[in-house]
């Protein structure tokens, strides 16, 4: 979700550092047999100036008592200890891929351009698990509402939906003990995952699940009888981090793996825009981070360790491709040491002014060897930058530019103010390459 940084984010010094790094380009990674392979893609970027996409949600009502999930001491189901990277048994052989996208992400036997939209959420932090105290229902509790959204997305030409699971850890999805250690996921969350995949299958959509977001680094707190558990301690405390991986992340991926509709998940986004929750700098030459002031920030090594652990946990249970939803090409090297199957960048107006997507490309900053997906860009397009004589760029033109530049996908932000005609027009131009 978009965040307007301070000028420190876009200082000339930062520009020099970023442009000096050479950007990404296409590449092709193929995994061992049964693994998901990712076809290469090169890059570009988009912008729109907007406030943080983060977490404001309306409370739908107070509750006089708090409903706390019963915390199992061990996971309900024990995921396999060894990695499972087998492709879906329903996936056609690669020889049947009659129209592979020239740059795309490979899944279910096909290489396709990830064309679609950020659903993001219906109720922030409630889609998976629900928040009964606020009257906010989850996917399995209100499937009709989500069905209507998905049907509209599909008829408008979308193929891939980016959907947030735990933007903040609140509600009935995850159980915690008295010491703030996650102990397991609830039956409601399991039902929600299954229902989400069922609905995606019914509407012929694919999903990229975004597990966490920078929003989760707000402090632990209680609001109207609902406890929100902040991520800070779960990142910096190795024991709590391990518990989160074993009892939550692996369990979510395991639930997907055991679904008859598991092939609907074509990607995992470990975390949305982690850069906004980091203080200091990384060791790879990127500009310094500038964390949002209301977040409990961590260091880059701490975040990197967290994401490496999460990548291993997801890869251990799922064959779908893994990425990190980077806030922008400004920090191109930040996640270079985190195991990913495709790179993901976000692009808004503040980046357009200082990191023009036509000149500061993934290849130019060293993002090479893997596909690059534009995980967010504004449906309103990019505003003109008079001081640099940059023209305004419409969403449709931006999408065309990304395709021409070799990106492997583009997912607009977000469904609440999307442009169905823009989505449909692009899909009509590439009818096969955008459909898994």
Consecutive H or E run containing 119: strand 114-120
Who's near 155: CB < 8 A, 6+ residues apart? Answer: none
DSSP string, 123-159: STTTTTT-BGGGTB--TTTSHHHHHHHHHHHHHTT--
| DSSP-assigned letter for residue 245 | I
Consecutive H or E run containing 375: strand 372-376
- The rounded distance, in Å, linking the Cα atoms of 402 and 44 is 6
The pLDDT tens digits of the residues spanning 255-287 come to 999 999 999 999 999 999 999 999 999 999 999
Consecutive H or E run containing 112: strand 110-112
Consecutive H or E run containing 190: helix 187-202
- The rounded distance, in Å, linking the Cα atoms of 9 and 189 is 37
Q: Which of 101, 106, 118 is nearest to 53 (CA)?
A: 118
pLDDT (0 to 100) of residue 96: 80
To 5 degrees, how large is the angle CA 227–CA 305–CA 237? 45
pLDDT (0 to 100) of residue 239: 98
- The rounded distance, in Å, linking the Cα atoms of 75 and 169 is 17
Domains of the chain: 7-51+71-429 (3.20.20.80)
31 exposed, middle or buried (CB, 10 Å; 0-12, 13-18, 19+)?
middle
Please list the ranges in the chain whose pLDDT falls under 70: 1-95
pLDDT (0 to 100) of residue 106: 95
């Amino acid at each position: 979700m978009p965040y307007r940084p301070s000028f420190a984010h876009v200082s000339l010094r930062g520009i020099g550092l970023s442009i000096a790094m050479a950007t990404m380009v296409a590449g092709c990674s193929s995994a061992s047999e049964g693994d998901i392979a990712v076809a290469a893609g090169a890059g570009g970027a988009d912008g729109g100036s907007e406030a943080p996409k983060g977490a404001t949600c309306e409370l739908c009502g107070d509750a006089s008592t708090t409903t706390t999930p019963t915390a199992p001491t061990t996971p309900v189901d024990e995921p396999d200890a060894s990695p499972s990277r087998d492709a879906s048994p329903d996936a056609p052989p690669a020889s049947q891929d009659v129209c592979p996208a020239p740059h795309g992400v490979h899944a279910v036997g096909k290489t396709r351009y990830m064309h679609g939209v950020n659903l993001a959420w219906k109720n922030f932090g409630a889609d998976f698990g629900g928040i009964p105290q606020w009257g906010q229902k989850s996917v399995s509790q209100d499937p009709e509402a989500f069905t209507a959204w998905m049907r509209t997305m599909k008829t408008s030409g979308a193929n891939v939906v980016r959907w947030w699971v735990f933007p903040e850890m609140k509600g009935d999805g995850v159980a915690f003990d008295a010491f703030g250690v996650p102990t397991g996921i609830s039956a409601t969350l399991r039902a929600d995952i299954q229902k989400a995949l069922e609905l995606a299958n019914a509407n012929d959509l694919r999903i990229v699940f975004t597990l966490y977001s920078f929003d989760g680094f707000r402090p632990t707190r209680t609001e109207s009888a609902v406890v929100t558990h902040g991520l800070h301690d779960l990142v910096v405390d190795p024991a709590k981090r391990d518990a989160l991986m074993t009892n939550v992340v692996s369990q979510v991926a395991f639930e997907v793996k055991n679904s008859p509709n598991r092939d609907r998940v074509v990607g995992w986004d470990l975390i949305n825009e982690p850069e906004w929750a980091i203080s200091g700098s990384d060791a790879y030459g990127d500009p310094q981070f500038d964390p949002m002031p209301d977040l409990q920030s961590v260091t880059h090594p701490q975040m990197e360790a967290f994401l490496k652990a999460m990548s291993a946990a997801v890869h251990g249970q799922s064959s779908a491709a893994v990425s990190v939803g980077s806030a922008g090409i400004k920090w191109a090297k930040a996640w270079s040491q985190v195991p990913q199957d495709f790179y993901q960048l976000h692009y808004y107006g503040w980046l357009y002014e200082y990191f023009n997507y036509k000149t500061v490309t993934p290849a130019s900053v060293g993002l090479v060897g893997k596909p690059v997906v534009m995980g967010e860009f504004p449906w309103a397009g990019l505003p003109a930058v008079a001081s640099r004589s940059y023209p305004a760029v419409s969403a449709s033109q931006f999408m065309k530019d990304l395709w021409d530049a070799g990106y492997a996908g583009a997912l607009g932000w977000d469904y609440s103010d999307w442009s169905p005609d823009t989505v449909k027009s692009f899909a009509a131009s590439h009818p096969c390459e955008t459909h898994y």
